Amino acid sequence: MKITVIGAGNMGSAFVGQLTRAGHQVSVTARDSGKAARVADAYPGARAVAPAGAAVGADAVILATGYADAAGALQAIGDLKGQVVIDITNPLTADYMGLTLGHSTSAAEEIAKAVPGIELVKAFNTVFAQVLAEGADFGNGQRASVFVASDSERAKQTATAIAESIGFAVVDAGGLRNARYLEPLAGLNIYLGYGAGLGTSIAPTWIHKS
């Protein structure tokens, strides 16, 4: 696939690395063009592009910014009507130990309202950057899960294909409103990783009996 990654931080860089290794055509863009260029240079086959028009011809856009910057970052790209956008953000408080939204809405729903016409899917928000960078295989047959929630079946299928191409198990989490559950799940994961001292080599998953 042709995939545009918005954001050149830890998550954005991890995505670029995993996606290029999986054979995708990856472009990376960021507010700091120098940072985007450094990320692209680190992974053969990736390229840094300016924000304007960065998603032209892309099969998917991965929104790897903070929630506060998300809508603005998408709007800087230009016309995204009909574009599949994978939202990985969480509406975290300044100390990362709480959420600024919840119960009656979610970061995903607010982004979708701010940028109408996109086909937004919530995914990867429960995955630490370290897990994304190191890979989904936890050994002993265990794989980290990516939960996908969207009102667009095409967006859900696209996110699923991308997650599976880089080794993750996928759990269909229903419609976009269920991001209201996935974002608190990410908050719990962050608490366990940092607040409870379990570290960042952890990930929530779902098990089932055959």
Domain ranges of the chain: 2-195
How far CA 73 is from CA of 34, 80, 94, 149, 192, in Å, comes to 16, 12, 20, 21, 29
**pLDDT, mean of residues 90-114:** 92
Assess if CATH 3.40.50.720 describes domain 2-195.
Answer: yes
The helix/strand count (H/E) of the chain reads as 7, 10
Q: What 3-state class would DSSP assign to 16?
A: helix
At residue 98, the pLDDT reads: 86
| Residue recorded with tokens 């989904």 | 136
3-state SS, one letter per residue, for 78-103: CCCCCCEEEECCCCECCCCCCECCCC
Helix axes 67-77 and 107-114, enclosed angle (nearest 10): 30
Asked if residue 89 has pLDDT above 90, the reply is yes
Count the residues in the chain.
210
Each residue's pLDDT tens digit, 144-180: 999 999 999 999 999 999 999 999 999 999 999 999 9
Mean pLDDT calculated for residue range 100-118: 95
- Residue 189 sits at the vertex; the CA angle it makes with 194 and 159, to the nearest 5 degrees, is 130
* Mean pLDDT (the chain, rounded): 96
Stretch 69-94: mean pLDDT, rounded? Answer: 95
In this structure, the number of other CB atoms found within 10 A of the CB of residue 16 comes to 29
